[in-house]
Amino acid sequence: MNKSTIGRRYASALFQLLDKSGVEPARSALSALQQGLEETPALKHVLASPVFNFEEKQAVLNELSRRMEAPPVMGDFLTQLLKKNRAMLLPEISEAFAELASQQQGVQQVCVGSAKPLQAAEKEQIKQNLSQSLHHGVEVAFEVDPHFIAGLRIQIGSLVFDNTVSGRLAGMHDQLTKG
């Protein structure tokens, strides 16, 4: 079982524990924790290192939860993550939880990658086109990856539409090597 599958299970469990009013505060708290893990090596070290005991890790997460005004159930949830040694899955849990929250609101999360930064007008046009194609609201995250060379890569859930030069070259390579 991969990390994202486990992360989705934990996200789903937390989502089911919350009432509607707790979803957005939990979403923002998880997002802040994800950002903290990605941008703060000290936090990552505390949670991953066996040097710090369970109580110390729990105190750090509880204090962060309190400061982010997370719903009370988040404290218990984070404690369970620590007990199961799954705290390092917070980024995957955060992304899966955000997806569930968006689905509840009737909004589909979409990730659009391009080789160069897109202009505001281009982003808005892409967002409108996706919303019309999918027949509901979309929340679009734009990423820049110079390896794409040109074109767009659109990810909607587990579906990926890759119209980048690097994606096409990889496709041609696969066809040629398979015969």
pLDDT higher than threshold 70 for residue 2: no
Both tokens assigned to 92: 């995957």
Closest CA to 33 of 53, 60, 2: 60
pLDDT higher than threshold 80 for residue 64: yes
Per-residue pLDDT, averaged over 31-57, amounts to 90
157: amino acid identity, one letter: G
pLDDT at 78: 92
Per-residue pLDDT, averaged over 147-175, amounts to 85
pLDDT at 179: 65
Per-residue pLDDT, averaged over 115-129, amounts to 91
pLDDT at 1: 66
Per-residue pLDDT, averaged over 55-73, amounts to 90
pLDDT at 104: 77
Q: How much of the chain, in percent, has pLDDT values that exceed 90?
A: 22
Q: Residue length, the chain?
A: 179
CA distances from 22 to 90, 102, 134 (A): 18, 14, 27
The whole-chain average pLDDT of the chain stands at 87
Per-residue pLDDT, averaged over 157-162, amounts to 80
pTM above 0.85, yes or no: no
**Three-class SS state of 75:** helix
pLDDT higher than threshold 80 for residue 158: no
